[in-house]
Structure formats: C-alpha cells, structure tokens
Structure 1
Amino acid sequence: MNNENNTTPKLGEGLTNNQIVMISIGGVIGAGLFIGSSAAIAKAGPAVILSYALTSLVVFLVMRMLGEMAVMQPDTGSFSTYATKAIGPWAGFSIGWLYWWFWVLVIPVEAIAGAEILHAWFPMFPAWLYALLFVVILSLANLFDVKNFGAFEFWFSLIKVVAILLFIGICSVAVFGFWPLADVSGIANLYQNGGFMPYGFGGILGGILITAFSFFGVEILSIAAAESANPAEKIRKATNLVIYRIILFFVLSIFLAVSLVDWRSTGFREFGTFQYVLMTLNVPGTKLIMDTVVFVAVASCMNAALYTASRMLFSLGARKDAPAMVTELTPKGVPRIAVLLSCAVGLVGCLANYFFPGQVLTFLLSTTGAIALLVYLVIAISQLILRKRCEAENIEMPFKMWLFPWLTWLVIFTILAVLTYMFFSPDYRYETLMSLSVTCVVVVFGIIVNRKKKYALLKQY
C-alpha cells in the first residue's frame, strides 16, 4: 500500500498534536446530537439507547478498518485512495466525488442554520447576510494556513466537549436525586410510558437510520492526520479511542436524557433533546446556553466541511480524477483552488435557498441521503481486499482489524441490510433512490474517465 505517486504535491504539516487530539475527540459531536437526536427518540422510544449503541459499534468497526489502511498509508484522500487501490480507479473516483458532493452541500446547510441563530440574536441584519459572512470568514480561515483550520476546530471541539461533560454531570446528579432545582430522579422513564421498546425492533432499526448520520464525519480524522507530523501514530491512537468517546458523548448522554424525561414529550421535537432536558431540570439560561452550543457545533461542522471537501478535491486532482488546477498550493501548503471551488459551491447553495426557499437546496440534499452508508461500505470492501493482498504477500501490518475477515463481512452485510431497508421503506425510499441515481451517474463518469486515462497512456507507448 505504499504511495506510488511521487509527483503528488505535498500538503503542509501544520496541524499540531493538540489539534489532532481535539479534532478526534470533538469532531464527531455535531448539531445532530444536540437537536437531531429528538427524531431518533420519537422513532424508537427509550430503545434509542440500543440504536446509538449498535450504530456506535458499526462506526467503531469501520474506523478500525479505515485505521488499518491509514496507518499503512496516511493520505489526504483517505478511503478514496484506498478504494482506487483495492477496487479500481473508477471506485476511488466515484466515492471521492460523492464524498466531496456531500460535504459541499453541508456548507450551505450549516451556514443557513448558523445564520438563523445569529439573526435571532441580532435581528438588525438579514439572515442571508449572516450566511454570506459565515461562509466567507471560515473560508478565509481555511484558505491561508491549515493551522487556522486546526485552531478553529480545536476551540470549537473544546467547547462542545465541555458542554457534553457538563450535561452528563448535571443529568447524573439529577438521576441520583441530588438536583436541587427540579423534582426529577431515577430511571423509571426507561420502562414506563409504553415500555423500553414501544415500537419493537422496527423502532430500533428506524432509530439506527437516523443516528447513523449523526456519526458521519468521524472519518475526517484520517484526512486531517495526513497534514501533521507522524500521521500514522496519531491515526492509531485516535482510532483506539473512538469507541470510548462515542459511548461517553452519545450513548451515555442519550441514556440520561430518556431516563429523566418522558420520551413521548413533544418538547423533545420542539426544543431539541438537550435543551428540553435542561429546561425540565430548570437550569437557568438554558435557551441561550444551548443556542450558543448549537451555534458552535454548526460552525465546527461547517469548518470541517470546508476543510474536508477541499482536501478530497485536492486528492482527486492529484490522481487526475479532477482538473489539475485543484492541486495548486499556497506557500503554506494549502490547496487554494480546491478551497475556493468548494466555497463557491457552498455559496451557490446558500443563494439557491434564499432565492428558491424549500426547493433547490432540499432537492440537492435528497441526493446525499445514503452517501454516508456508501462511504462506510466502500471502506469495508477496500479493507477486505487490501488486507487479503497484504497477507498473500506476507506484508507485516502494524495495525490490524480484529477477527478478520468475519467482522469485516459482518459490517458489509449490516450496511447492505440497512440500505435495503431504506430502499423499501416509504420514509427513506426517495432519498435512497436519489442517492443511488447520483451514484450511478458518478460511477459512469468514473468508468469513462478511467478509460480515457488508459487510452492516453497507451498512446504514449
């Protein structure tokens, strides 16, 4: 798995150890946990704990597989590069462009969400202006030095981690009956109000379909680590800690939420999970606190989206799957054109939302509904193939996936089962069909581009 392309432009190594650690700790925490988890609770009831636990396990195994490949070859293209080596150039092309497409559409979504919060705080300016400033400021931060991305993400992640730990601390005190501001204690809500599994196993699966997308982004670590010194060691350490972070931040916090509050409460959907629980506990200034935390989570996600989209586009250009100009670097080693192009698409998405509210952007977002699962599927298949190659060639691997190939096959079948369920479920069929349609188009382009590259090489000889 050694890198065969010695002509690839070299990105800077500006991310520090502390920044990588904090990105790996807080990068997975987004607005989906603070607000979106309410939809999963409504779908599964208290059994949403199992939804988060099972999803956590699958994501952890996927990260272990990605870590195995990334330690062998740290690369800013991450799983897209590994898919090229394992499955073929068309696969690396396809999953790389789909991943870029996902993250450039995250940019306007987060910009609009952040703008709405700012507009509520400072209504003297229109929301579209805040969205524009949001994109421009974070784009400039990403444009000049990767240290800027690292610095922003360090503080964003620190704030999110502190918020989660405070939430867990407050709720733990309340569960044991020592919270002085509200008469709430115990875990009776887990088994009263319809039981622990009011919707059976179907509810747990429905919760998994929602929670799965809350975890998407944890793989950014393998991309960011490539822009630091000694990336293989950082990837190894961070991958080993993934499961503990996920259990602490997701499973424990949701367990406490559904223990303290009746899962049927409409307040979950109206205010978001964390805000409603803190309101129930009569925590002073809950709305301002949670608006601030959600704003930070939105800014963090947008910062990561700009970074990730630009690095994947750079990697595609380095492999000649995108125009060569996207590999142009600043003196600090930042892919300037890749950042600007990703920013431009994000701005177009923002404008589309304000000129055609609820139409263009909603349609575009429907094309990303299954991309997260497709990325995880490609990671698992790539690891399966590359691991077998390494074993056939007696290549020593410093970091291995456990119980190979059985756990790898289990993950593959699990993801395929979830995709099949989404395809036949009325609630998810449209997004799944749209995602698969876009995937088919990209795959066709990937095959055409690959054939043209092969033809060009044959002409040289």
Structure 2
Amino acid sequence: MGSHATQVSTEEKGRLSRSLSHGQMTMIALGLAVGTGLFLGSGGAIAIAGPAVIISYAIGSLIAAVIAACAGEMAVRYPVQGGFGTIAGRFLGPYAGYLTRWAYWATMVPLTGAELVAVGKYMGYWYPDIPLWLWVVVSGAIIVALNLTSVKSFGTMEFFLSSIKVIAVIVFIVFGLVLVFFGLPNTPATGLGNLTNDGGFLPNGISSIWISLAVVMFSFGGVELISISAAEAKDPVRSVSSSVKAMMYRLATFYVLAIFVVVAMMPWKQAATLEGEVSSSPFVMVFSALNIPFIAGITNFVVLTAALSGANAALYAATRQMHALAHDSMAPKAFARTTGNGIPALALGLSMVGSLVAVVMAITGVANIFVMMMSLVTVCVLVVWFMILTSYMFFKKQEGNASPFRVWGGRTTAALALLGVLATFAAMFFTQDMAIPATVGVAFFAFISIVYFAFVRSRQSVNHDAFTEASDYANQQQ
C-alpha cells in the first residue's frame, strides 16, 4: 500500500526517481561518448586529416574531458532536473537556460536517429538485401521498450550494453597493438609504415587537424549526460565525481589508441569515407582486411551493440530534457507528466521524432543520412558545450570552490576549452557535407529564440526552490 502511494505521489508531482548508481551513470554517459562517432564516423575524420587524425582525437578528448568536468562540478553542487540547462538559467539568465535545454534536446533527437541508422548499416553487413528502414524500425522499438521500464532497470541494461562496448574497445586496442608491433603466427606485424605512406603523416597540411575537429567532436557528444542523470542518482556527489574522473581518462585512452590502431593497420585512404554513404566501420574494415576467421563478424556485432547502446542513451537524455523543459513551462505541461514508476512517457514519445525522420529518409532513399544527421547533432552539441563552459565561468565567479568536486585550472581551463569549441564550429563551414546542416542548425536556434521572446519569456522564471532542494540533498550525501 505504501509503495502504491509513493508511485502516485511521484506521478502527480512529475518527479524523477533517484535510483541510478554511480556505475550506471558512468556507463550511461559512456554509452554516448564511446560509440558510433568512434566506430562509424571516424572514417570521415581520417579522410580529412589522414594519419594526423590521431592528434585531432587527442585534442578533442581534452576538450571533451574539460566539458565533462565543468558540467560535473556544477552538477555535484546542484543535482537538479535538467542538469546544466537548468544551471545555465540560474547563472546566465532565463533565456540562456531555455536555449541550452532546447539545444540539448535538439542534439539528442537526431542523435537517436543517427545511432539507429548506424544499427541498420551494421545489420546490412550480414543482411545486405533487407532495407535499412526496417532495421531502424525494429531497433527503435527495442530502445522505446527499454526506456519505458523503470530508470533502475534502464540503468542496469545500459550498464550491460556499455560494458560490452568498453570491454570490446579494450580488446580491440590490445589486439591491434599486438598486430601493429609484433604480429601473429599467420599475420606479420604491420609496423608504422601506414602512418607515413600516401603523402606522409600530414598529407593534407596542418590545417586538416583543425578542420577534422568538425567530424571528431561528434564522437564526444554525450560527455555532458552525467549532469542530466545527476537528478536520478542515489548519491549525486559520489556518483558524479567518480563518473567524471572515469570519463576523463577513458576518453583519452580509448579514442587516441583506437584511432592509432586503425590508421597504423591499414592505409588511411582505404579507411577514409569522405564522400558517399559510410558503408562500414573502419574497425570492421581493419579485421576484414587481415583475413582473420570470424573476427570481422565479431567486431561488427560489437559496433552494432555500441550503436544500440548509444541510441538507448540518447533517447533517455532527450526524454529527460523534454520532461525538464515542460516542468519549467518551456514546453507544453503535458510532457512533464510521469508514469507510476517515474517515466515521462509523453516526453519519450515526442523525443522519438528523430527516429521517425530517419525512417522516412531511409524509405525515400535520401543519400548520406548518417552524415547529415551527424552534422546537425554536431552544431547543436557545440551550442550546448558553449553554454556549459560559459555557465561554468559564471558559476565559479559567484560560488568559487563551493562544490566538493573541482576542475583543475578552473575558469582558465574552461576558457581554453571554449576556444576549442568555437574553432570547431568555424571548421564546420569548411567541411564537405556539413555547411548546410550547420546552417539549418543556426536557423533552428533563431526560430526557438523567436518563440521564446514571443510566448515563453513572460511566464518563465528560475525555480530557486529546486536549487535549494537539490543542494540540500547533495549536502546530505556528503
């Protein structure tokens, strides 16, 4: 009887359930940050920078680590619904909070669709005659079912899916390094020749490192999810702190070493996919070229799992952000409602729009679906990161070291990362297939800004009680 009363109370208040462990939070964030951008999108970055893409990923991982840490420091202090978007509203003003949160929702919605398209492409490796759109529909139904379970069950499943991916990346790196430097009985070591063949280490000039960031940074979308999931953490102080630390070193290790293995094991022009559809992952191509029995199929299964995990986490993030928007009168109130087990089902349904767009594009035969959706995701997430870093600088100015978790270098480190974000945004307009989606993204932000000043501004305010409640809860856990 008491349990039922608790469920009703949760539904009426539209509150989320605090039931995620710190391990689940880490893996949910890794479900986005280590995924399709690395496994499938890396081909485009290799095409732009050649072997020097290793430097691009090293720079990108540093920027992403700073963003995750800044979002984490603020979330430890204020584990509020809406995460960094809500925090932006407090420290930069209501309009900034509105823009940040809609930008994040606009990031996660097409990202869900892009990940599902990737699932379809990976399935096409085994079943080339089955249409792409059918796989998008089937995989979309799977992630909806997962997201309709309780957040604790969702966290458990995402922990499982992300664990497979993380273990597989580690195995790939170790196995790849052995093949590069030592070889196997029937496979000679490839050595480092591929890093300087075909035009040298920098075949397209030093500027290619900067331009390739436009593709590379898509891979790191999701590092900020720790801030969003803090509102559903059992122990936000411990969970966010440990998750951010784990995220920082895993990003640098996984991305830099994995990309090194790819460009060392095969000619960079073979791994590159600058034009046309991305037909397969460079990771699968590496092992296919080595003729090792079954390993390419196993690798394809791993990257398939990674894409499904990424779609699952992206839909979760989009749903929670829409719930927070509605809860604070920035979207229709209906989307703030939750089910008896704390799931915002209506917000979940709306957040599936990216998947529906992916299905329509696949059915109508639109070319470069993945590249187009990836580009739109990138421009939206760059806006989100800009707002996170800017919010952090104002947060530090006003609150100093009030958070028990602190970023090394504080505002100076955040400012350097901010320059990296701005440089990446500029690079998008010099990258093939990205300029048009970037322009669409700018138009989207112009549109929601008009909506804000016409309809939302008059009824929006910062919910200071939510900050007080979240801060008190965090203090109790210390």
* 1:184 and 2:189 are equivalent in the alignment: yes
CA RMSD of superposed structures (Å):
2.7
CA deviations 1:153-182 (Å, max 9, x no partner) are 112111111211111111121222242231
Q: 1:207 to 1:129 in 2, by over 3 A?
A: closer
SS in 1 for 2:408: coil
The equivalent of 2:227 in structure 1 is: 222
C-alpha deviation, 1:197, in angstroms = 1.5
- Does residue 356 (structure 1) correspond to residue 364 (structure 2)? The answer is yes
CA shift at 1:260, angstroms?
2.5
Q: Deviations over 1:84-131 (max 9, x none)?
A: 112211121122122212222233333343245446646797654443
Residue 290 (structure 1) aligned with residue 299 (structure 2): yes
Of 396, 405, 411, which aligns to 1:399? 405
Aligned residue identity for 2:187: A
Is 1:281 aligned with 2:287?
A: no
Q: Aligned partners of 2:167 and 2:54: how far apart in 1?
A: 22
Q: Which residue of 1 aligns with 2:174?
A: 169
Residue matched to 1:459: none
Give me the whole-angstrom Cα distance separating, in 2, the residues matched to 1:232 and 1:245.
Answer: 20
Offset of residue 402 of structure 1: 2.4
Between 233-242 and 312-321, report the one with greater CA deviation: 233-242
Instruction: Kindly state the Cα deviation for residue 425 of structure 1 after the two structures are TM-superposed.
Output: 5.6
1:309 aligns with 2:318: yes
For the structure 1 residues 205 and 229, does the alpha-carbon distance in structure 2 shift closer, same or farther, using more than 3 Å as the test?
A: same
Shift of residue 44 of structure 1?
0.8
Q: Secondary structure in 1 aligned to 2:194?
A: helix
Q: Aligned runs of 1:51-450 on 2, under 5 Å?
A: 51-118=56-123, 121=126, 127-265=132-270, 271-343=280-352, 345-358=353-366, 367-391=376-400, 396-423=402-429, 428-450=434-456
Gaps of 5+ in 1: 1-6, 456-461
Partner of 2:15: 10
**Distance change (3 Å), C-alpha of 1:281 and 1:356:** closer
Structure 1 counterpart of 2:174, which letter? G
Contact 2:26 2:246 in 1 (8 A): no
Counterpart of 1:46 (choices 51, 67, 72) is: 51
Counterpart residue type for residue 437 of structure 2: E
Residue aligning to 1:4: none
Decide which moves more: 368-377 or 306-315.
Answer: 368-377
Query: Cα 1:36–1:421, aligned 2, differ >3 Å: closer, same or farther?
Result: closer
The 1:361/1:184 distance shift into structure 2, 3 A limit, reads closer
Distance 1:241 1:14 in 2: 20
Q: Give the 3 Å change call, closer, same or farther, for CA 13–31 of structure 1 in structure 2.
A: same
How far the C-alpha of 1:144 sits from its partner, in A, is 2.9
Q: Distance in 1 between matches of 2:15 and 2:63?
A: 33
After superposition, the Cα gap between the structure-2 partners of 1:38 and 1:444, relative to the gap in structure 1 and judged at 3 Å, is same
Structure 1 stretch displaced more, 230-239 or 177-186: 177-186
**Alpha carbons of structure 1 residues 196 and 129: separation in structure 2 relative to 1, 3 Å:** closer
Cα separation, partners in 2 of 1:417 and 1:116, compared to 1, 3 Å: closer
Query: Per the alignment, in what secondary structure is the counterpart of residue 282 of structure 1?
Result: coil
Pair 435,289 (structure 1): closer, same or farther in 2 beyond 3 Å: same
Stretches of 4+ aligned residues off by more than 6 angstroms: 359-365
Q: Which amino acid aligns with 2:267?
A: D
SS in 2 for 1:200: coil
- What is the Cα deviation at residue 418 of structure 1? 2.7
User: Residues of 1 paired with 2:31 and 2:139: CA distance?
Assistant: 21
| C-alpha contact 1:13 1:227 (8 A) present in aligned 2 | yes
Question: Percent identity, aligned pairs only?
Answer: 33
TM-score by length of 1: 0.88
State the one-letter code of the partner of 1:131.
V
Kept in 1, the 8 Å contact 2:125–2:280? The answer is no
Distance 1:255 1:454 in 2: 48
Give the Cα–Cα distance (whole angstroms) in 1 for the partners of residues 347 and 118 of structure 2: 24
| 1:223–1:287 Cα change, 3 Å | same
Task: Tell whether the 8 Å contact from 1:371 to 1:435 is kept in structure 2 after alignment.
Answer: yes
Does the 8 Å CA contact 1:181/1:282 hold for their aligned counterparts? no
2:328 is matched by which residue type in structure 1? Answer: R
Q: Which moved more, 1:361-370 or 1:411-420?
A: 361-370
Q: Following TM superposition, by how much is the alpha carbon of 1:421 offset from its aligned partner in structure 2, in angstroms?
A: 3.5
Distance verdict in 2 for CA 1:364–1:288, change over 3 Å: closer
Distance 1:51 1:143, change over 3 A: same
Give, in whole Å, the separation in 1 of the partners of 2:30 and 2:104.
22
CA contact (8 A) 1:367 1:438 kept: no
Sort the Cα spacing of 1:120 and 1:205 in 2 relative to 1 into closer, same or farther, 3 A: closer
Classify 1:255/1:204 alpha carbon distance in 2 versus 1 (closer, same or farther; 3 Å).
Answer: same
Residue 271 of structure 1, CA deviation: 4.1
For the Cα contact (< 8 Å) 2:45–2:272, is it kept in 1? Answer: no
**Conservation of the 8 A alpha-carbon contact between 1:349 and 1:361:** no
Q: Does structure 2 retain, via aligned residues, the 8 Å contact 1:369–1:431?
A: no
Q: Is the 8 A contact 1:89 1:450 kept in 2?
A: no
Contact persistence 1:46–1:190 (CA under 8 A): yes
CA distance 1:412–1:247, change in 2 (3 Å): closer
**Cα distance 1:71–1:203, how it changes in 2: closer, same or farther (>3 A)?**
same
Residues 332 and 64 (structure 1 numbering): CA distance in 2 closer, same or farther, change over 3 Å? same
- Find the aligned partners of 1:359 and 1:273 in 2 and give their Cα distance: 20
Q: Which amino acid aligns with 1:357?
A: G
Cα distance in structure 1, aligned partners of 2:296 and 2:427:
37
Pairwise CA distance, 1:365: 6.8
Residues 40-81 of structure 1: CA deviation (Å, up to 9, x unaligned): 112111111100000111111111111111110112311211
In 1, Cα distance between equivalents of 2:199 and 2:368? 40
Alpha-carbon distance change, 231 to 193 in structure 1, aligned in 2, over 3 angstroms: same
| CA 1:128–1:254: 2 relative to 1, 3 Å | closer
